[in-house]
Structure 1
């Protein structure tokens, strides 16, 4: 009001009623004092006195004994006396404020018995007297403030639902009810309170989320109320309630979904369905999500005017949602509402495609609702009946109820107590069970047996929890705890972790596992930057973040780079050199320590980062993908290093399942914005969480990649015909003392599946760069089919897009291919004109045709000639009709290799892009085929994407022009486990050639039958082995996959390329064989040529004369 209480009224209240109850006359006298008081304060003071008297004497038994509530109801509805109505609200306020604190069982009386008395207070909000409305609001606020989360969900919410379901009522009361719903939802939202406050919010959020099935329709009906005030408040309540959905997939669509409820029409419904169809559903779908989406989907399926396209999208959304429903009980609650609509689409849709999709969706729904869908590792939820059985048994074993009148009160409240305990048990908050039992049983049982019963109920459900989830291992007293931090973590406005705990023990190695974008790297970066709340500072616990940083200080020598850190420099040059030597960095003038940082391979840069961490004497190592770029030997070395240094604690993010199995002692897993710790390595974790099995198989079930088929190569009739050949090539980096690669030879075909394997710095990436034209060999030659298109992803894949961070992925793809060819090709060294090349272009060329020396201006065209090509040359200062056809061999002899190569690239790219339209729809589909959400591709800048998403952008750019050969330098870096599985399946099914470098033995063994081993800059061995089909999750059931892989291995082993039959001579490609023409065909050809010649004679001066060929179109 606010109301104050005089000091004389601050009476001490005992926990149990006294033995002397007041008489009926005393209660009547107090009620008369309250109703006849001259001022509001006097009435309130008397109400407090009545409340204290009841609390100290009979407790909740007094409501029935003195028939108290009916008298209050009668006064509250006295239309002739406003003072009595106000006094009635003040009595309710005093009772609501004080009784639940001392006798919580009174909550049942106030809210549930005979409809409760909350409705009286809500109706009073419409009273014409302001003091009555004020008193009613005081009573409502007092009741809300005294309820704990379990009480709100199991008592207040049912009372509000009953009130809102009434056919008639006063609009001010409905507004008040919606305000209370909104306050409950706001109270459940994640915040920055204490740990206990946030635990209560978690409980309220989860329990209230289960009620949305019935609550959302009630609020939606209020959004259409004729009274504007009610509709406005219902909209606010709906906005608050939808925050209970802890689903990152649906969250961005919620404003549009609420708009669809608020303004129901065909257009808003179609917009909502379209938005949902563009959503990639990944998170598990629970009842709150189904409660929000089911009414909209049902309306779309059943509306007779829904367009076929919208029906198609609706059944696709239903199917995608259903696949992620892991609880058959939830499926059986919601899906039956959708099933008739989907069945109707299957039976009556006009388009066959829509009917087929509906059939598929029905099959998925049937499977989801069956008992066989009980998700691996899931457990059954506790029901109120199970709690009630335990409660009754414990009460009986402890002497039963104390008084005859206790039976009536217990019968009234036992279901309520059981429902509250049920919420605590299912949320695994067993420490809250006593607070939901002990105070509610006080006064009902013999002596002090209420605490005994509460403890027994708690012990029973703790034991049941251990049976379901496993008993926690006892702590080792010898373990040393170095970190025990409670914190929340957010990034870019998104909450990643909410009031979770991170506990690190000395010498333990923790694997950090979670989906892409969960916040693993963000967590480690926050620790390294001392921005994580509760984590000890660097002065207490030294942490070092070891990550990929390939371009920093590239011109410094290794010893200079390490010595840059002042703390490391203090240890002395001799100590630094000694530690570097332990990591394999040799000393001396010719040693690796004197080399530039920029000359190191990716693996050696990772070892350098680890050496730097060791020199900093880190207590906690934060390792972000440490095995990326490391060869097998160095991975083994790192494993032993981490296991042997038992004084160092490690927190590791890695998608290498073998590495995590080998080194981890514990696994921290992201679950519902919490970190959950599991003892043991990754294998032990997967046993406890079978849904995490994707860490061990290459599966495209979650993320699917699909590569476009390569185009036709002229002259290539067989997949075993050579398309690219490297012969005796040697390359030395500027300033390097010896060649990085020497005498390397390789022949590739469309069926090639080649893995280049070797240690860090062996020359693998140099090998790849010479194959693709990134570098030019000093000796030897690289030949390729003139029309060959190569898709190339570099070792440091993000270099492809780092110059376009301000663009969206779609804009980057449009920029790259806007001119009809690939702009990035012109950045290769084989395409950049040197000063010698520019001088060559200025030299006159004499073809000995009597026309004298001339300078070449450009190549205008190309056509087949014998077993090669000839090019149409435009001369400087001469008209096009003086153009000359010159053979490829002659042009190469004259030194115009780069000019020829540029034109060939343009023609090859034009041929590949002839099948692609650079249009938004096709670009979106292409990005979707490589696992990137079209919404992200079209609207998010590259600078805001994660490492894995940027790799997908690079992959999309490489595959746009339908390449014949895919060259991948460590493609597994940056990709999460699901994306890795999708990429492996796409490579397996790709119809072109593949060359890759990877230290991931699982990935290579599943895809590449041919392996080249490189060491010290030389190819030391070539092996042909069968691929490991069992590493694909679909290998047992998908026969085409097995067939493709087996045939690839066989053809590679037996091909002419590998046998050496095509190793000799230059790479040549036969033109199409001429067919002998009939006499009629020869006459037709002569007629065409004559007409063409006449047309040329009538053309403007300077028009080039058309060439007569034998393969012209009819």
Structure 2
């Protein structure tokens, strides 16, 4: 069709060229199909033009202008179709085969509009039966155009929306760390100076992958230098929010650097300390550029010797050298600004605080377990000092000494921190503000740590409930009067007045009730002492390399013991010796012959068959009860309703933990030995666990990093360090002070 390209651009002048060109080509193909005797009979012009109309509107075109264009194009195509069919009836010409109309039908379906926005959403330009034409699309230009389309769609709706990009852009090809870092945080020389580093994102929606909305008309406000604790129940979408921020899917200003500690690093032959140094990609890139510029300047000086001083070649080389020296000065200023010369000492200090000895800092990263690699990820983030540091449950992989170091480090962190955590003590030390995510919204509690937030939120909820109940009572009062006097002639005007009042009252919703989670460990029968005792126990896998020496530990029916210490110092080994899974090289383990022990393993999920339900798994692992009895038992740990009948892989981490708690109680244990029971539990789950352990009539020995749970449950602190285990004289908070004093004496704890 003549001038169709001009008509499209006049109707939708602001549309992206990629979409406009595709629309023009599509219309021309329809026009060509009208000339074919076979395809013309199958062609539905109005449906095809309607598809293009929807496409242009979805890409940002004005609805009125697009509809006008569609009517004009449709009328011309129908006229030409009618004319061509009349000619073909006379000539019988069936030689033209310009376009497979089934392809048009396929891509005209409503479900393909989004993919067609991205050039049909296929990896080839045109598809034909039996023949393929490889794509000649410039992928870099396409990627740039796609970003513009997505930005316009989001801006028009003033929302964060998902945008399905072209499949020509292979999303599965993940960029390496350096490329991803520089994509999210491009190096800027001076352009960010003086700009505010506060973050303010108004009225956005956020969805998870399956289309479920987790935030609606939400606003995110982060003041630079504040440390925010993001709290909410399990599964509410806190990690999704952090991920959207870390990828700039939410509109964070480009001059603000972002780093997200999300997963463990991939192991390699690079040493731990070099891995931390390489994490600062800016420094790494700048040092590389600095060396290249210096080498080139030196090369230019050598080249100049080969030419006459007044020659054109020398002038060109001088100009190049001047440009290099200017850029070199910018690089050196940037390196001074980031204190590049102090980098190695700072990296070593951070690693030491997170539990890496001087020797282990030189080990390759592939020699560390998953937990230690997570620590490396955390160390890399702290070393980079981004403007916005995003931490997702950082304490889950850390021991008490490392958590103490991290909390102390973050207290003087100069930029913005947003941390997801359920560790109350950690949030009390770190957070300057709390953000509560619930009911598809974010509520702010400014200037409050977790305890203050918890009290304020409860007071706020009570006030909302009071207001709701008062309004409901007032509504009922008005309604009672209306029902009584609506048809009373003397009182009808008063009844009408109350009807108007009732209509004007704001509609209040009852405040959201926190889901109550319960845990209850069954009371064991009484045993006479000794219950279980270690006497002069030493253990090692070889006599020359002992992990534990001369350990004396006594657990009674009323014991509440917290076993703390750095990771790798033998805590889990001691638990296995207690349960006689490991035999000591020296000393004795004595216990009451009737003693039953319930053991909660740190990696308890590994022993579960997640493809079955909790009821089925328990009936196989601990037979002897009916399904109803198993369901009732699970209910005492908060696994109520149909949760016990779902496949366990569908349960949250906290729900799986509660299934494990329920299973270890089936033999009515006298002693509970628990290795990191607080991992994956939200605030309600932690409260339930603490209450259950306090009310348990047997003894408790717990390895935990959660200071709040330890303080709530335990009255004895046992410390594993220096190859032995000894009772600590003081509370868990006294132990934290002891750790900080030791770190301060060694020079680990420093201001940034």
**Alpha-carbon shift at residue 1023 of structure 1 (Å):** 4.6
CA, structure 1 residues 494+928, in 2 after alignment: closer, same or farther (shift >3 Å)?
farther
Deviations 1:394-431 (A, max 9, x none): xxxxxxxxxxxxxxxxxxxxxxxxxxxxxxxxxxxxxx
Q: 1:708 aligns with which of 522, 527, 534?
A: 522
Aligned pairs (5 A) from 1:769-780:
769-780=576-587
1:611, CA displacement in angstroms?
0.6
**CA deviation after TM superposition for structure 1 residue 919, in Å:** 2.0
Matched, 1:534 2:341: no
Partner of 2:534: 726
Deviations 1:973-1012 (A, max 9, x none): 2211111111111111212221112233332233222332
Contact 1:484 1:504 in 2 (8 A): no
Give the CA deviation at 1:708.
2.0
Question: Residue 502 and residue 785 in structure 1: after superposition, are their counterparts in 2 closer, same or farther (change >3 A)?
Answer: same
Matched, 1:657 2:465: no
Contact 1:790 1:964 survives alignment (8 Å): yes
Structure 2 match to 1:828: none
Shift of 1:675: 1.6
Q: Secondary structure at the match of 1:628?
A: helix
Higher RCO (CA-CA < 8 Å; seq separation 6+): 2
**For the Cα contact (< 8 Å) 2:275–2:380, is it kept in 1?**
no
1:617 to partner: Cα distance: 4.7
Within a 5 Å distance, the mapping from 1:386-535 to structure 2 comes to 480-482=197-199, 484=201, 486-528=204-246, 530=247, 533-535=249-251
1:978 is aligned, of 670, 684, 704, to 684
C-alpha displacement at 1:705, in angstroms? Answer: 0.8
Q: Is the 8 A contact 1:792 1:967 kept in 2?
A: yes
CA deviations on 1:482-517 (whole Å, 9 max, x unpaired) are 453633223544321123222333322111122232
Residue 695 of structure 2 corresponds to which residue in structure 1? 989
Mapping for residues 867-1016 of structure 1, pairs under 5 Å: 917-939=624-646, 941-1016=647-722
Q: 1:811 to 1:579 in 2, by over 3 A?
A: farther
Root-mean-square deviation (Å)? 4.2
Instruction: Decide whether the 8 Å contact of 1:630 with 1:999 is kept in 2.
Output: yes
Structure 1 counterpart of 2:348: 581
Whole-angstrom distance in 2 between the partners of 1:478 and 1:493: 36
| Equivalent-residue separation in structure 2 for 1:568 and 1:963 (angstroms) | 56
Give the alignment of 1:30-109 within 5 angstroms.
none
Cα 1:1013–1:622 shift into 2, 3 Å:
same
Q: Counterpart of 1:544?
A: 259
**Deviation of residue 966 (structure 1)?**
0.6
Residue aligning to 1:618: 386
Deviations 1:590-624 (A, max 9, x none): 4454287776795x665433212134553322212
Deviations 1:115-149 (A, max 9, x none): xxxxxxxxxxxxxxxxxxxxxxxxxxxxxxxxxxx
Distance 2:714 2:645 in 1: 34
- Of 577, 594, 597 in structure 1, the residue corresponding to residue 363 of structure 2 is 594
1:743 aligns with 2:458: no
* 1:569 Cα deviation from its structure 2 partner: 10
Distance in 1, Cα, partners of 2:461 & 2:348: 40
Superposition map of 1:645-684 within 5 A: 645-647=413-415, 649-682=416-449, 683-684=451-452
Structure 2 Cα separation of the partners of residues 985 and 704 of structure 1: 9
Q: How many residues align?
A: 441
Matches within 5 A, 1:720-869: 721-732=529-540, 739-801=546-608, 804-818=609-623
Change (3 A) 1:966 1:690: same
Judging changes above 3 Å, is the alpha-carbon distance between structure 1 residues 784 and 576 closer, same or farther for their aligned structure 2 residues?
farther
Q: Check 1:614–1:679 CA distance in 2 against 1; reply closer, same or farther (3 A cut).
A: same
Which whole-Å deviations, capped at 9, do the CAs of 1:568-594 have from their partners, x for residues lacking one?
994799988544411243989844542
Report the 3-state secondary structure (helix = DSSP H, G, I; strand = E; otherwise coil) of the residue aligned with 1:777.
coil
Give the secondary-structure state (helix, strand or coil) at the position aligned to 1:706: coil
1:583 partner SS: helix
Shift of 1:743: 1.9
Q: Cα gap change, 1:575/1:812 in structure 2, threshold over 3 Å: closer, same or farther?
A: farther
Is the CA contact 1:667–1:677 (under 8 Å) kept in the aligned structure 2?
yes
Q: CA deviation at 1:744?
A: 1.5
- What are the equivalent positions in structure 2 for 1:164-203 lying under 5 Å apart? none
Kept in 2, the 8 Å contact 1:813–1:957? The answer is yes
Name the structure 1 match of 2:40: none
Segments of 5+ residues of structure 2 without an aligned counterpart are 1-152, 161-193, 289-340, 463-513, 734-752
Contact 2:560 2:713 in 1 (8 A): yes
Other structure's SS at 2:394 match: coil
- Structure with higher Rg: it is 1
Find the residue that maps to 1:740 and give its secondary structure: strand
Alpha carbons 2:271, 2:361 under 8 Å: kept: no
CA gap of 1:686–1:814, structure 2 versus 1, over 3 A, is closer
Measure the CA separation in 2 of the matches of 1:599 and 1:1020. 28
Whether the aligned pair in 1 keeps the contact of 2:206 and 2:216 (CA below 8 Å) is yes
Contact 2:351 2:376 in 1 (8 A): no
Matched with 2:377 is: 609
